[in-house]
A and B are shown apart, each in its own frame.
Chain A
Amino acid sequence: MSAKVEINCTVNKQQQTLHAYPMERLLDVLREQLHLTGTKEGCGEGECGACTVFINGEIVNSCLVPVAQVEGASIQTIEGIASDDQLHAVQQAFIECGGAQCGICTPGMVMAAVDLLERKPNPSGEDIRTGLAGNLCRCTGYMKIFESVVRACRK
């Protein structure tokens, strides 16, 4: 493994200087160096979406991103979705509609829903299904997650 390098980026609006192997997964660096453990590992191969974050506003699986790629980038994680004590409408809707059960897919699912509503403020049923199709949940059967998204966009 090559030597560690310095990487500068912003994470949840804070400037960070990271020291990591270039090929370390962004997921691990976020969790282990910055202790942002809301980003979860489910599969490690980009299938489940539990590790979803935004890089420069783009939704990505952080388990597939070598940390060297985020030099100069702006990263947002689940910890940066609520502002102060005010939950995002998606988070509030997940609580009210039962969109979270065990909670392990929830941060990633919330990120995917936030991304969807930013792109399509009034999504159709089909938009919701395809918009969340990169995120797997084993508890809910997705119905209450769909309801949560519908409720969030009514707010």
Chain B
Amino acid sequence: MQNLIGKSIPRKEGRKKVTGQALYVDDLRFPEMLHGTTVRSPVARGRIKSIAFGGDIPWDEFAVVTAKDIPGANYVALILNDQPYLADEVINHPEEPILLLAHTDKYLLEEARRNVRIEYEELPAIFSLQDSLAKKEIIWGEDNVFKSFLVDKGNVDDVWSKADFVVEGEYHTGAQEQLYIENNGAIAIANLEDGVTVWGSMQCPYYVHKALIKLFSLPEEKIRVIQTETGGGFGGKEEYPSMIAGHAALLAWKSGKPVKMIYDRAEDMVATTKRHPSRTRHRTAVTKDGKLLAMEIDFVIDGGAYCTLSPVVLSRGTIHAAGPYFCPNVRIDSRAVATNVPPHGAFRGFGAPQSIFALERHLDKVAKTIGLTPDDFRRRNFIHAGQTTATSQLIREKVDMEGLLNRAFELSDYYAKRELFARENRGSSPTVREGAAISLEPTLTVGLLPRSALPTPRIKKGIGFASFMHGAGFTGSGEVYLQSVVGAEATAEGYVRILAASTEIGQGTNTIFAQIAAEALGLDYDLVEVAQPDTANVPNSGPTVASRTCMVVGKLVESAVLGLKQTLVGSGLLKGQYTQAEFRKACGDYIAKFGPLKSFSQYQPPPNIHWDDDKYQGDAYGAFAWAVYVAEVSYDPLTYEAQVDDFVAVQEVGKVINPVLATGQIEGGVAQAIGFTLFEHVVWENGRMINNQMTNYIIPTPADIPPIRVYFEENPYAYGPAGAKGIGELPMDGPAPAILNAIENATGVSFNHVPLMPEAMMEKALVTSK
């Protein structure tokens, strides 16, 4: 028997990717293929008065689709079905799609797009969650609220008068663009006889499948969705592909020809989803010896113009809002509200980075108020097995937040640096002695600022941390509703093929599924293949989201392949103990004798999981990943820039299936979160992103990222494949508060919003220096 678990086996499709042979949707072409484009609204809110086709354009050569051409229902089927595929009379956000065009010549297509003349009657619009909450205009439903939750544990109201300290704070996070390097795209072939087939860049083929069934009002077997190699998703290809696939399919239906629709970067950034902006208010009661008594949290996210996934994002943000601490009394009141901006959507972390940012900034404030260090205060409140979370979930697994904290501090030299920086920062100012702060820089550093060449040392240094957790899988009863299925089939040559709808989007699905399957059967890794997600060939394993692919779907892979073995053993063709050659021969014999050899496995919840959807109490997640992240920063009081110099990420994610892939997930997530914290500023003007280019929406480059040092503690989870838990979203949660805590340590100034741009630091520095 081999041991493939815990080994860094190279990714399955690695060779294709490094040689440029991997085929993404824009790399595919079909005979007679047309290019499609979208005519979008320039206004934020209004009514369409008229549509005219102007210019010197041969309009009769074009396929033109409006809302009137839709064969089925004009909505993107998801949760509330409130978002139209094409606006019909009413406009609710800038860049809302109104009309579709297709032509063979993409240059002429662009000319034509500019010559569609639409007249509007503009209506007053709102662009901030504050204006939405204040009901400045009612733009959605009766009160602008897509969804609200109330989590109530104990009774916070009994506590305030008795507490030694009550500490309040308000925290904000901005929108963030997923910025996968491959833009959204789809190709469709559609006609009455064959139905609709779509190839595309996506995370969730069955979401697209469900949406197209409604859009075309066709039976499910007439809709086929195929995932092509996908150049990053991060949530940005969770719900949006249903839109672009629908548009390509409508044009294909109308024209009778294959239609390719690929966004350029500017369109992708201006029109597709982003991370929900948020506002969180905290009110916290503590004893003088630092015990949490009550946490009251008001959490609001800006959902944009349509509901899309906001209720689910809100749910995850709400459940994570009180963090990995035990507190007897917790009230979390949360709302997702409507504004006239393009709908915000899924993005790695899914609400948790927003609420955890607020909490971990706030706890530093609470610690300071009561005179404890940030770590001492947290140590007194970390949750342990046997205690309950905010949703009264009893923690049954072993949790050792303190151990993670100790290890992270040791690896980052936290205490020594805290002391050193406190001493050195006092001395560092533009006029003070030379050479002080420079020696503190780590050896592998970020070559941004030529600091050692500066005439006087002025850089202030700081170190800070955040402790947090992230639940794996769908929230509450979500996995039970999904009823995910995975199949496995054997070939006559004894290869095993995994049939799952989980997509490879860079995170390593193909590789870990093959490792899990090969390990379970005792086969070589190369004998396991993972089928391309294609709704005609793979069952619905649920969406590729929520850190569920490894833990939830991976477990189904394990049981599905064990089903193959059981069938072979049950048929008498294989003994319980076997060699690889015997297994392969048995597959061939079985297929010759009985026909195809397949096995399917359906999700079963772990025992003792209970969730109350009405009270929002119970077992929110089967398992949590736990983490402590430490950031070391430097701050330049002359340029008002902060940069991260070193980053330590310590986490417990159950058994690590593939260390290189897992480390890559953490490093990538941390880098993306550093962008969220210090670089990535979506600039809005009347509900529209105006810096929708890579030139002026800045993500970290190779020169900007500090050494990211990743460490795993392993505590195998009984219901995960080989003991694994979820991992993908976790690293997005901790960096923002850790970095701002470090900046406060460096500067003594408290910043409570991200992205934290130099302009904001300058403003505050100028105010405080007056």
Contact = CB atoms under 8 A, between A and B. Distances in A.
A1 B107 CA distance: 9
B411 to A, nearest CB: 15
A11 interface: no
From A82, A137, A143, residue with most partner B Cβ within 10 Å: A143
Contacts of A99: 18
Contacts of A87: 15, 18-19
B27 A100 contact: no
B22 A103 contact: yes
A77 B20 CA distance: 9
B231 A40 contact: yes
From A87, A94, A106, residue with most partner B Cβ within 10 Å: A106
B453 interface: no
Interface in B611-655: none
B661 to A, nearest CB: 6
Interface in B176-206: 178-183
Contacts, number: 179
A14 to B, nearest CB: 16
B175 interface: no
B668 A135 contact: no
From A96, A103, A145, residue with most partner B Cβ within 10 Å: A103
Interface string A85-114: 001000100111111111111110010000
A47 B694 contact: yes
B265 A43 contact: yes
B664 A130 contact: no
A97 B667 CA distance: 13
A37 B27 CA distance: 6
Interface string A37-80: 11111111101101000000000000000000000000001110
A129 interface: yes
Interface string B210-234: 0000000000000000000111111
A144 interface: yes
A142 B20 contact: no
A126 interface: yes
Given A48-B181, A141-B708, A144-B660, A94 B18 contact: yes
Contact of B702 (A47, A97, A142): A142
B231 A102 contact: yes
Contact-residue size bin, chain A (C-beta under 8 Å from the other chain):
35 or more
From B15, B20, B701, residue with most partner A Cβ within 10 Å: B20
Interface in B665-679: 667-672
Nearest to A145: B702
B505 interface: yes
A139 interface: yes
Contacts of B181: 40, 42, 48, 50, 102, 104-105, 136-138
Nearest to B447: A126
A96 B659 CA distance: 12
A100 B265 contact: no
A135 B265 contact: no
B702 A128 contact: yes
A107 B15 CA distance: 11
A98 B665 CA distance: 10
A39 B13 CA distance: 17
B92 to A, nearest CB: 29
B11 A140 contact: no
A138 B232 contact: yes
Interface residues of B, number: 62
B275 to A, nearest CB: 14
A102 B668 CA distance: 11
B137 to A, nearest CB: 36
A125 B668 CA distance: 19
Contacts of A136: 181, 694, 699, 701
Nearest to B111: A1
B15 A129 contact: no
B11 A98 contact: yes
A81 B19 contact: yes
A45 B697 CA distance: 13
From B229, B672, B694, residue with most partner A Cβ within 10 Å: B694
Interface string B689-733: 000011100011111010110000000000000000000000000
Contacts of B27: 31, 37
A72 to B, nearest CB: 25
A117 interface: no
A133 interface: yes
Contact of A95 (B18, B180, B705): B18
B10 interface: yes
Contacts of A140: 664, 667-668, 671
B51 interface: no
A78 B506 CA distance: 19
From A42, A110, A141, residue with most partner B Cβ within 10 Å: A141
Contacts of A47: 693-695
From B180, B183, B661, B667, residue with most partner A Cβ within 10 Å: B667
B14 A94 contact: yes
A132 interface: yes
B270 to A, nearest CB: 14
A110 B18 contact: yes
A39 B15 contact: no
Given A102-B232, A130-B447, 18 more contacts: A38-B21, A41-B26, A45-B694, A47-B695, A50-B181, A91-B19, A95-B10, A100-B18, A101-B664, A104-B180, A133-B703, A135-B702, A139-B507, A140-B667, A142-B671, A142-B700, A144-B660, A146-B702
11 contacts: A43-B693, A47-B693, A78-B19, A79-B19, A98-B661, A101-B508, A102-B232, A106-B20, A129-B447, A138-B180, A140-B667
Q: Top 9 nearest A-B pairs by Cβ distance?
A: A38-B20, A104-B231, A102-B506, A141-B671, A103-B17, A141-B667, A101-B506, A78-B20, A47-B694
